[in-house]
Each structure stands twice: as structure tokens, then as C-alpha cells.
């Protein structure tokens, strides 16, 4: 037997009838439906049709040949929802059912079209596209000759797809369900509704087109259903497709390579771009190391808190995790609430709760000390993920790889605090003294390292930042409504600004540009939403400008839970910074199907490419013009939304993690080649351990 696999509504019934009518080849089905039984003798048939995923088949013998019949997923979903409505007498809400099918939560809808195609493309011996099958059935069937006996052919009996609507054939006419002649005619009308290539364009709303492209863009490009945008970022054309191969390894390695990665940024309870970079890179590297074997041993340094294996990051207690559950964050929220309380009782109650929280925090801290009780290890390489963290490692003497996110202390020091400028300057200076190899997060940053610091091009690799899988168009109406209520978003369209409130993000000129837009069209129902935590400078002037602008509102920091929903709801993201080393919010918004307005400087043109509107960050009129395009040019915005989703999903953490491991390999190998006496190794000492009982007693006395 051979498997004939397909996602529902992909033409498998048509192919089965072609095989039966022309070649006399019968087929059966294997399924998990409850309304009709499986033929107990299905394994005796030469062809067995299934919609299941490869891992759900019985028998589970991967040696059984398989044919995968694939159709444009957008046509599949539209056809599937129409079919469900026909079966249930139009009781299914069309828009809701489409969203449900795109989301394919918890493995529903046969895992979703993207997963289904991805897994079967890896397994199948032959892949046939529905569009080719309808155009030339016999040519497609000939590709099955290595697996089926096609020697006897009755070409005069070849059915067309339209014949399935008007005649009873062996498969799909409803006879297997015991239908009458009249019932079969009605059944055929719904089951073989159109079969038109590209029919999804008539029924699939634009926002769901973007959502589907964001989830399944790789498979659509791979199968030729959409064309990939022009290559601007130097990635392989299929970098966002699932990799079949293993990470390249040296066949002559003497032992596992041991790398210490700076993870001190993970101790910051605030989630910013660099925190995301460290967290997502470590998660992706851990996944790849586990998949590809034991070539690497990667540990993460938490600074003064010690070292933990990369696989143990999930065990770090909440005290040291980012997000709202961190006790420090909870303490800050409670302290803010205390400002509204009155009376001695409430003041004392607030002190008590705060101290109890501190006691809990200390216990968690001691738990981290125990967690970090590994024996000191010898390392072949230190990866400094942020130059500012250099003081934790200044006593080490081993090969160094330093990630440089930007050179703001040189190119725009007026936009930074003095402490930030000094910290970054000292970190870069120390790294250079260690003869470090550099990783730049963009080609723009690489060029700045060459031009501003005189670093040789051979000492710099580019490993782009990327997006986590959570950033994609939100199709869950409930979550969209919840986000809108939580942040009191306007009912009408709005532009979104996102970023820490600091001068470099250029919020002042962005608001000025928006005000020009409103002045030009006072009747326009549009708002500007400013999201982001407080940083430094600009705050008083910004708040004054917002107070004067009735349609501008500041909503503060937005957590990861709601960020994709805000991106999805926004008409466009306005991210017209004066300078960026990468610009992570840009690809986050693009991944959520949102068009972007960006500053035409530094790394941003490189990252966005032709998927957004550029603007001069110093010119509010230029920003207004870009906003005008976003609000009034629907055709341009819709086109850019599709381009944006395709482009953003080329920036994957798996791809970046593999490139980073290649950098590790290169630096370690180069250092070994340069050292006659062997590689440098270093031991990272642990901080002195606190006395838990004494510390707890001291806190008890304070309470």
C-alpha cells in the first residue's frame, strides 16, 4: 500500500476517482472520525487516503511510500469553512470559523495547514499540487509509476473536476453514507463547490490573509503559491523554513566545546530589546544543542549570582525573572497603591506587606544560591552579550566574543544618560583590549564598528536579532477585545508608538507630525497611542505635548501578553527613531501583519526593506506624510502588510542561534590555531556564600 495524504479540500477525492476510473486502482481511507467506521481491511488496498499527520498513522511504518497532494492553504481553508456551513445548514459563523481554522489551536484542524504541509513535505516520496492535478491529471498520475501499476489505462474514462458535481463516481458521491439520489446531488453540490484556483481572493478578508501568511508564509513560498520579496538582508532564501540538516560539526573534535554566555541582563525585571535578545537566543541555542547532540556545553552566567546550565534557565525563581510576577515589580505596584491610602492603619499594613514581600524575596534569593552551586568549569570561550556587563568578567583570560547592539555612545551621546555612555564606552574599550571578536546585530552596526572604531572587517560577524513565535497576527477576538479594554483603546483606527520614553526614540517629533496630520484633516477619526515605560529626559516635555493633543494618549508599559494584540489592532506602527542598532519593534509589528513607519537612518532601512514607509526623523512634516500614506492609502498599506509578514518571518531565532554557534566555532578554532601551548581556559569563581540563617534573622528583626 501507499499513503495518499492531503489536507482537507485539497482534491484527494478527485485523484482517487482518476486512479479508479482510468487505471482501475481502488483505494480506502484511514481516519479518526466518529460518524463512520474505518474499513477493517484498509491495509489491503493499494492506496489509502488520509488527512492525518504522519505521526498519527497506523501502521506507523515510515518505510511505506506516501504521496502528498497539496493545495494553496488559503483555498483549502475557505473551501473547508464553506463545506462545514453546507453540512450544518449555514449555522457556522464564517469569519469565526476561518479564524479558528487559521489558529488551529491544540492540534485542531489536522494541526493547521502550515504544520500539515511542513510535516508531509518532509515525509512524502511524491508531492503533487492540486493546481497541476486539475490542469493535467494524467501527467501528474504518471509521477506515481514507481509506486503503482499504471500499465492498463482507459484514458477515455478520465473525469474532469466539473464531472464530480454532476455524476456519481466511486468516491465522494455520498453513496457510502446511504444517501438517496436527490441527497447525493445536494451532497455533490456542496462537496465539489468550485475547485477554482485562487478562489480565496473572493472570500478571505484581508486581515485573515495577513494572519495566514504570517503563520504559513514559509510553506506558501516553498510550494510556489507566493513569491518571496527581494533579498535585502543577507539570509539564505529559505532561512525561515524548517531546517532538515544538523548543525555543522567538526569530525575531529577532541571534546565538547564549553562556552560561558553572559546572562546578567536576565536579572533585569524589565523586558527591553536586549533582554529579549539574550533570552530568545539562549532558548534557541538550547533547543539546537539538544537536537544536534553533545558538541556544545553552554552555561549561563548570572553575574554575582553564579552560573547555571543553559538547560536550567526555566528553574530561575520568579525573583530573578522578568515580568509582572517578579516580586520587585509587585512591590512597586503596591507602593504606588499606598499613595492613595490614608490613615495610620493602612500605612502600617503597607509596611508589613512590603516587609513580608522582602522576606519572601530573600528566601528566593537563597534558593538561587543553591541552584547556582555547580562546580566551577573550564571554558573555551566567553560570550559577552552586552558590553556594559564587562566588569563581571574582567578577571578572566580566555577567548572573547562580544555582541555590539549599537554605538549610541559615539553617534548620539546626547540621547543617552552619562552613565549609559560611560558604561558602554568602558565595555567596548575593555573588549578591544581583550582582542575580542565581534558580533553585530545588523550590517549597519557592523559598518559603524569599522568606520568609528577601526575594527577590521574580518573580526566582525553579523547575526541579526529575530522574533519569537508569539509575534503573529492575533485572530482571537476575545484577546483583541480584552487588550482594547485594558488599555482603553479607541474604537476607531489608531497609530501606535512603542518604546522606552527617551530622546532617541523621537516621540516628540512623532507627536508633532501627528498633530500636523490632524490639523490638515480635523474631521479625521484617528488617534495616536504612545506605549512604553519611562526612561530618561523628554518626560516633562512629552507629557506637556500630550496634554495639548486631544487625540494622543500615553498608556505606559505593555507586557508581552498583550503586545501582539496591540500590534494587530494598530493601523500602523510609528517607529521613527533618530538611531537604532537593529529596531526590534519594527519586525515584531511586521510579524503581526502591521505596516510600519520608520526612520530612514542607521539600521532601520536594512531591517524593513521595502515593507514600510521611511521618514526623516528630524522633520515632522516628513513623518506626517508617511502617516498620511498609512491612513489614506489603503492599497499601499494592504500591500505593505503582506510584504511585512513575509519579511519579518525571515528573522528566526533558530537561524540566528545557528549562526551564533558558527561564530563560537570560528573564534575557538582561531584561538587554538594561534596558541602553541593550547587554548586559553579560565575558571569563573563563585561569589562568597551568604549565611542564610543570619540573613533571615536580620530581616526578622527589621520586620
Which CATH number belongs to the domain containing residue 150 in this structure?
A: 3.40.50.300
- The pLDDT value recorded for residue 531 is 93
- pLDDT grade for 653, boundaries at 50, 70 and 90: very high
- pLDDT grade for 633, boundaries at 50, 70 and 90: very high
Residues 337-355, mean pLDDT to the nearest whole number:
56
**End-to-end Cα spacing for the chain:** 75
- The pLDDT value recorded for residue 182 is 73
Which cell numbers in the block locate residue 345?
Answer: 492603619
As a whole number of angstroms, the distance between CA 21 and CA 664 comes to: 59
As a whole number of angstroms, the distance between CA 379 and CA 684 comes to: 9
- The pLDDT value recorded for residue 49 is 96
Instruction: Give the pairing type, strands 257-262 and 381-384.
Output: parallel
Same domain, 288 and 383: yes
Same domain, 565 and 678: no
Same domain, 109 and 155: yes
Let me know: does 538 contact 501? Beta carbons within 8 Å: yes
Does some domain include residue 33?
Answer: yes
Residues 644-665, mean pLDDT to the nearest whole number:
92
Which CATH number belongs to the domain containing residue 554 in this structure?
A: 3.40.50.2000
Does some domain include residue 584?
Answer: yes
Residue 22 has pLDDT above 50, yes or no: yes
Does some domain include residue 357?
Answer: yes
Which cell numbers in the block locate residue 448?
Answer: 559603524
Residue that wins the pLDDT comparison between 191 and 511? 511
Cα 75 to Cα 70, 264, 498, 663: the distances in Å are: 11, 48, 36, 42
- pLDDT grade for 233, boundaries at 50, 70 and 90: very low
- The pLDDT value recorded for residue 151 is 87
SS3 603: coil
Residues 6+ apart with CB under 8 A from 505: 497, 499, 532, 575, 577, 578
As a whole number of angstroms, the distance between CA 93 and CA 550 comes to: 38
Residues 330-356, mean pLDDT to the nearest whole number:
55
Residue 398 has pLDDT above 70, yes or no: yes
As a whole number of angstroms, the distance between CA 394 and CA 76 comes to: 58
Residues 326-347, mean pLDDT to the nearest whole number:
53
Let me know: does 98 contact 81? Beta carbons within 8 Å: yes
As a whole number of angstroms, the distance between CA 399 and CA 255 comes to: 17
- The pLDDT value recorded for residue 250 is 39
Q: What is the pTM of this model?
A: 0.73
Angle of helix 181-191 relative to helix 73-87, nearest 10 degrees, comes to: 150
- The pLDDT value recorded for residue 371 is 54
Cα 276 to Cα 78, 117, 266, 530, 532: the distances in Å are: 36, 30, 9, 21, 15
Which cell numbers in the block locate residue 606?
Answer: 536594512
- The pLDDT value recorded for residue 690 is 35
Does some domain include residue 290?
Answer: yes
SS3 395: coil
Which cell numbers in the block locate residue 300?
Answer: 549561563
Which CATH number belongs to the domain containing residue 430 in this structure?
A: 3.40.50
Residue that wins the pLDDT comparison between 333 and 556? 556
Cα 210 to Cα 54, 188, 269, 568: the distances in Å are: 28, 32, 33, 10
- The pLDDT value recorded for residue 377 is 56
Let me know: does 606 contact 444? Beta carbons within 8 Å: yes
- The pLDDT value recorded for residue 163 is 82
- The pLDDT value recorded for residue 616 is 97
Give pLDDT tens digits for 96-132. 889 889 988 878 899 999 999 999 999 999 999 999 9
Lowest mean pLDDT across 147-161, 257-271, 322-336? 322-336
Same domain, 521 and 537: yes
When divided into structural domains, the chain yields a total of 3
- pLDDT grade for 304, boundaries at 50, 70 and 90: low
> Exposed, middle or buried by CB within 10 Å (0-12, 13-18, 19+), for 700?
exposed
Which cell numbers in the block locate residue 196?
Answer: 477554482
As a whole number of angstroms, the distance between CA 378 and CA 668 comes to: 13
- The pLDDT value recorded for residue 535 is 67
- The pLDDT value recorded for residue 7 is 97
Same domain, 434 and 527: no
As a whole number of angstroms, the distance between CA 234 and CA 106 comes to: 35
- The pLDDT value recorded for residue 320 is 56
Let me know: does 405 contact 386? Beta carbons within 8 Å: yes
> Exposed, middle or buried by CB within 10 Å (0-12, 13-18, 19+), for 13?
buried
Residue 247 has pLDDT above 90, yes or no: no
Angle of helix 634-648 relative to helix 584-591, nearest 10 degrees, comes to: 110
Does some domain include residue 603?
Answer: yes
How crowded is residue 309: how many other Cβ atoms within 10 Å of its Cβ?
A: 14
As a whole number of angstroms, the distance between CA 8 and CA 645 comes to: 25
Domain that holds residue 508: 477-648
Same domain, 360 and 394: yes
- The pLDDT value recorded for residue 356 is 58
Same domain, 427 and 506: no
As a whole number of angstroms, the distance between CA 283 and CA 314 comes to: 10
Residue 693 has pLDDT above 60, yes or no: no
Residues 615-641, mean pLDDT to the nearest whole number:
95
Residues 565-585, mean pLDDT to the nearest whole number:
96
Which residues on neighbouring strands pair with residue 346, listed in sequence order? none
Let me know: does 431 contact 408? Beta carbons within 8 Å: no
Which cell numbers in the block locate residue 532?
Answer: 512604553
Does some domain include residue 249?
Answer: no
Does some domain include residue 248?
Answer: no
Report which of 399, 436, 432, 456 is spatially closest to residue 672, judged by C-alpha positions: 399
Same domain, 516 and 546: yes
Give pLDDT tens digits for 450-500. 999 999 999 999 999 999 988 999 999 899 999 999 999 999 999 999 988
- The pLDDT value recorded for residue 439 is 97
Residues 6+ apart with CB under 8 A from 116: 7, 53, 110
Same domain, 27 and 108: yes
Residue 240 has pLDDT above 60, yes or no: no
Let me know: does 221 contact 228? Beta carbons within 8 Å: yes
SS3 124: coil
H or E element in which residue 127 lies = strand 126-129
Residues 133-147, mean pLDDT to the nearest whole number:
93
Last residue of a domain, one of 204, 232, 249: 204
Same domain, 434 and 509: no
Same domain, 591 and 499: yes
Mean pLDDT, rounded, of the chain: 82
Does some domain include residue 92?
Answer: yes
Same domain, 424 and 573: no
Amino acid at each position: 500500500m501507499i499513503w495518499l495524504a492531503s489536507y482537507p479540500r485539497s482534491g484527494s477525492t478527485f485523484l482517487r476517482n482518476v486512479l479508479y476510473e482510468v487505471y482501475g486502482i481502488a483505494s480506502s481511507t484511514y481516519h479518526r472520525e466518529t460518524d463512520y467506521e474505518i474499513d477493517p481491511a484498509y491495509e489491503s488496498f493499494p492506496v489509502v487516503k488520509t488527512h492525518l499527520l504522519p505521526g498519527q498513522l497506523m501502521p506507523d511504518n515510515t518505510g511505506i511510500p506516501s504521496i502528498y497532494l497539496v493545495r494553496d492553504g488559503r483555498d483549502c481553508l475557505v473551501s473547508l469553512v464553506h463545506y462545514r456551513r453546507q453540512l450544518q445548514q449555514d449555522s457556522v459563523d464564517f469569519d469565526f470559523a476561518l479564524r479558528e481554522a487559521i489558529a488551529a489551536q491544540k492540534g485542531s484542524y489536522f494541526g493547521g495547514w502550515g504544520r500539515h504541509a511542513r510535516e508531509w513535505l518532509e515525509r512524502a516520496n511524491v508531492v503533487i499540487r492540486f493546481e497541476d492535478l486539475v490542469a493535467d491529471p494524467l501527467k501528474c498520475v504518471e509521477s506515481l509509476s514507481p509506486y503503482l501499476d499504471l500499465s492498463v489505462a482507459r484514458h477515455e474514462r478520465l473525469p474532469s473536476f466539473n464531472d464530480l458535481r454532476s455524476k456519481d463516481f466511486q468516491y465522494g458521491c455520498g453513496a457510502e453514507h446511504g444517501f438517496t439520489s436527490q441527497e447525493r446531488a445536494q451532497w455533490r453540490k456542496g462537496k465539489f463547490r468550485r475547485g477554482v484556483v485562487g478562489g480565496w481572493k473572493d472570500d478571505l478578508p484581508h486581515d485573515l490573509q495577513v494572519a495566514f501568511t504570517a503563520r504559513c508564509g514559509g510553506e506558501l513560498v516553498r510550494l510556489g503559491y507566493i513569491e518571496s520579496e527581494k533579498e535585502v538582508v543577507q539570509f539564505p532564501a529559505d532561512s525561515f523554513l524548517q531546517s532538515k540538516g544538523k548543525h555543522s560539526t567538526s569530525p575531529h573534535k577532541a571534546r565538547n566545546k564549553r562556552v560561558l554566555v553572559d546572562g546578567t541582563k536576565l536579572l533585569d525585571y524589565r523586558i527591553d530589546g536586549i533582554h529579549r535578545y539574550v533570552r530568545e537566543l539562549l532558548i534557541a541555542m538550547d533547543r539546537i544543542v539538544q537536537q544536534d547532540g553533545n558538541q556544545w556545553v553552554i552555561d549561563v552566567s548570572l553575574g554575582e549570582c553564579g552560573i547555571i546550565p543553559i538547560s536550567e534557565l526555566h528553574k530561575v525563581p520568579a525573583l530573578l525573572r522578568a515580568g509582572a510576577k517578579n516580586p520587585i515589580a509587585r512591590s512597586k505596584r503596591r507602593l504606588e497603591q499606598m499613595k492613595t491610602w490614608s490613615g495610620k492603619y493602612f500605612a502600617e499594613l503597607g509596611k508589613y506587606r512590603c516587609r513580608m514581600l522582602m522576606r519572601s524575596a530573600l528566601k528566593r534569593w537563597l534558593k538561587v544560591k543553591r541552584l547556582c552551586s555547580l562546580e566551577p568549569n573550564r571554558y573555551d570561550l566567553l560570550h559577552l552579550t552586552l558590553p556594559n556587563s564587562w566588569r563581571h568578567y574582567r578577571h578572566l583570560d580566555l577567548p572573547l566574543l562580544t555582541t555590539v547592539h549599537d554605538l549610541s555612545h559615539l553617534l548620539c551621546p546626547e540621547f543617552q544618560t552619562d552613565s549609559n555612555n560611560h558604561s558602554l564606552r568602558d565595555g567596548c574599550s575593555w573588549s578591544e583590549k581583550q582582542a575580542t571578536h565581534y558580533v553585530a546585530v545588523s550590517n549597519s552596526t557592523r559598518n559603524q564598528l569599522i568606520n568609528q572604531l577601526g575594527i577590521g572587517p574580518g573580526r566582525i560577524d553579523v547575526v541579526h536579532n529575530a522574533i519569537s513565535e508569539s509575534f503573529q497576527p492575533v485572530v482571537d477576538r476575545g484577546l483583541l477585545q480584552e487588550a482594547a479594554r485594558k488599555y482603553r483603546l479607541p474604537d476607531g483606527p489608531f497609530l501606535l508608538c512603542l518604546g522606552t520614553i527617551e530622546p532617541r526614540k523621537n516621540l516628540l517629533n512623532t507627536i508633532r507630525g501627528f498633530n500636523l496630520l490632524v490639523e490638515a484633516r480635523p474631521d479625521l477619526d484617528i488617534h495616536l497611542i504612545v506605549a512604553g515605560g519611562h526612561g530618561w529626559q523628554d518626560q516633562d516635555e512629552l507629557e506637556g505635548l500630550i496634554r495639548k493633543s486631544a487625540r494622543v494618549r500615553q498608556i505606559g508599559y505593555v507586557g508581552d501578553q498583550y503586545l501582539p494584540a496591540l500590534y494587530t489592532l494598530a493601523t500602523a506602527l510609528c517607529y521613527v527613531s533618530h538611531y537604532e542598532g537593529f529596531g526590534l519593534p519594527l519586525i515584531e509589528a511586521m510579524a503581526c501583519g502591521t505596516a510600519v513607519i520608520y526612520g530612514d537612518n542607521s539600521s532601520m532601512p536594512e531591517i524593513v526593506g521595502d515593507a514600510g514607509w521611511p521618514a526623516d526623523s528630524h522633520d515632522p512634516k516628513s513623518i506626517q506624510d508617511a502617516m498620511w500614506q498609512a491612513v489614506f492609502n489603503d492599497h499601499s498599506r494592504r500591500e505593505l502588510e503582506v510584504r511585512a509578514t513575509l519579511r519579518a518571518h525571515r528573522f528566526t531565532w533558530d537561524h540566528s542561534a545557528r549562526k551564533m554557534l558558527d561564530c563560537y566555532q570560528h573564534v575557538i578554532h582561531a584561538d587554538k590555531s594561534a596558541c602553541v601551548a593550547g587554548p586559553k581556559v579560565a575558571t569563573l569563581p563563585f561569589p562568597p556564600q551568604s549565611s542564610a540563617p543570619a540573613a533571615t534573622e536580620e530581616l526578622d528583626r527589621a520586620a
